[in-house]
């Protein structure tokens, strides 16, 4: 399985800035066959970056989309419209869940719409600090996974990526803390158990699981060597070219 390094730029970079960043990134990294580099700019930049991107070196992801293909949905962008522009879409990021009120039902429809439109969903799951304190992590993760994947058929499971992002470890969360590799290992093991119990070993062994939460060049290697982790979803550090390229290099070294 490949190692995935996904940069979530969130609401940063104008279209021009995104284009300059992409240009520099493409110049800096070679084509690593076993490391899949993905960048997720804001929606406005997707069209122009899709023409600029060297798909041998990296891929584009959307940060969100709407599950209906077309119709009276003012302000939305559909997976159908993104088809051909992006290979991936982040779905159910905690900022979508907690700032924009997306629930598991909506996320379930988005995951299905992504798969239907041949866009790989990166389904984000993760507990809040209080859920963790109350010992609810496993239940929260189970609900988010089962909810998110409800409309995905077994043969389409290999078209889904899960990203474990504990909300309390995301750098934009107030008083964010670092997750230890042991914390990550425990939950990733749980995620694999949930998947196995529901879909069986064969159907789920190929599903990549990423970790995200304040990843930077000094902790990336430790997270990438956690058993069962197949890559990283990176927010803040992906905005700094030198940090993002360092993390890509680390992923390459860990693979070697
Ligand atoms: C994220 O928002 O997906 C994320 C992981 O952010 P950061 O790396 O900044 O914690």
Catalytic residue among 36, 81, 127, 165: 165
Given a contact cutoff of 8 angstroms between Cβ atoms, the answer to whether 58 and 9 are in contact is no
Residue 210 contacts residue 164 (beta carbons within 8 Å) = yes
Q: What is the pLDDT of residue 201?
A: 86
Q: What is the pLDDT of residues 56-104, one digit of tens each?
A: 999 999 999 999 999 999 999 999 999 999 999 999 999 999 999 999 9
- Choosing from 39, 95, 229, 234 the residue with most ligand 1 atoms within 8 A of its CB, the one to mutate for a pocket test is 234
The percentage of the chain sitting over the pLDDT mark of 70, rounded to a whole number, equals 100
Six token digits for residue 132: 């963790």
In this model, does residue 203 exceed pLDDT 80?
no
Q: Each residue of 161-197: pLDDT tens digit?
A: 999 999 999 988 877 899 999 999 999 999 999 999 9
* Exposed/middle/buried for residue 247 (C-beta within 10 Å: 0-12, 13-18, 19+): buried
Identify any residues that bridge with 162 across adjacent strands, giving them in sequence order.
Answer: 123, 209
pLDDT of residue 236: 96
> What is the Å distance from ligand 1's center to 214 Cα?
6
Dihedral sign (CA 107, 214, 52, 32): negative
What sign has the CA pseudo-torsion 63, 216, 170, 122?
Answer: positive
Instruction: Let me know the angle formed at the C-alpha of 12 by 7 and 17, rounded to the nearest 5 degrees.
Output: 90
């Amino acid at each position: 399985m490949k190692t995935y390094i996904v940069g979530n730029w969130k609401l940063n970079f104008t279209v021009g800035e995104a284009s300059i960043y992409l240009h520099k990134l493409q110049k800096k990294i070679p084509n690593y066959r076993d490391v899949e580099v993905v960048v997720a700019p804001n929606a406005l930049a997707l069209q122009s970056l899709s023409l600029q991107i060297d798909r041998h070196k990296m891929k584009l992801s959307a940060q969100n989309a709407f599950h209906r293909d077309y119709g009276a949905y003012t302000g939305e962008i559909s997976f159908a419209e993104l088809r051909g522009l992006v290979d991936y879409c982040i779905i159910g990021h905690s900022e979508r869940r907690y700032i924009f009120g997306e629930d598991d039902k909506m996320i379930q429809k988005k995951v299905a719409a992504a798969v239907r439109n041949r866009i790989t969903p990166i389904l984000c799951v993760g507990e809040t600090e209080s859920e963790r304190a109350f010992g609810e992590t496993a239940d929260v993760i189970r609900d988010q996974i089962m909810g998110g994947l409800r409309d995905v058929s077994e043969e389409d499971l290999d078209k889904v990526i899960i990203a474990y992002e504990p909300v309390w470890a995301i750098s934009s969360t107030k008083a964010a803390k670092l997750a230890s590799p042991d914390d990550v290992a425990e939950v990733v093991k749980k995620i694999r158990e949930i998947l196995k119990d529901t879909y069986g070993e064969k159907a789920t062994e190929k599903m990549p699981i990423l970790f995200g939460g304040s990843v930077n060049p000094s902790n990336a290697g430790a997270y990438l060597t956690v058993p069962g982790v197949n890559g990283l979803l990176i927010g803040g550090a992906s905005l700094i070219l030198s940090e993002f390229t360092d993390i890509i290099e680390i992923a390459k070294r860990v693979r070697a």
